[in-house]
Amino acid sequence: KQEVTQIPAALSVPEGENLVLNCSFTDSAIYNLQWFRQDPGKGLTSLLLIQSSQREQTSGRLNASLDKSSGRSTLYIAASQPGDSATYLCAVRARELSFGAGTTVTVRA
């Protein structure tokens, strides 16, 4: 069974600092990996989707890398802002979509 781990569980940084969120998965036979953002009491918003054949994807201040062979992905958020405060979830798609427990980010103004 696919297991997805996200480290750290929580992160607090001052505004302007770069964020680095880690995701690891046990089974490298995946189709793709997706990063989501979840605000308190809200649904999941897709941020980036990386296909298994890709190494990274970028969208604005967000960059996600994928090393399928080692079972790792990293989400980088440059120049963090208070509006980036949320829980970030990593999900890998093989037979089904398996989620990590998330990293809760707080960006202090």
Partner 1 sequence: DAGVIQSPRHEVTEMGQEVTLRCKPISGHNSLFWYRQTMMRGLELLIYFNNNVPIDDSGMPEDRFSAKMPNASFSTLKIQPSEPRDSAVYFCASSTSRVLSNYGYTFGSGTRLTVV
Where along the sequence are the contacts to partner 1 (CB under 8 A)? 31-32, 34, 36, 41-46, 49, 51, 89, 91, 93, 96-97, 99-102
C-beta closer to partner 1: residue 48 or 80 = 48
- Whether 46 contacts 33, CB under 8 Å: no
Rounded least distance, CB 14 to partner 1, Å? 28
- Whether 25 contacts 94, CB under 8 Å: no
Length of the chain: 109
The closest alpha carbon to 33, from 87, 86, 70, belongs to 70
C-beta closer to partner 1: residue 45 or 58 = 45
C-beta closer to partner 1: residue 13 or 52 = 52
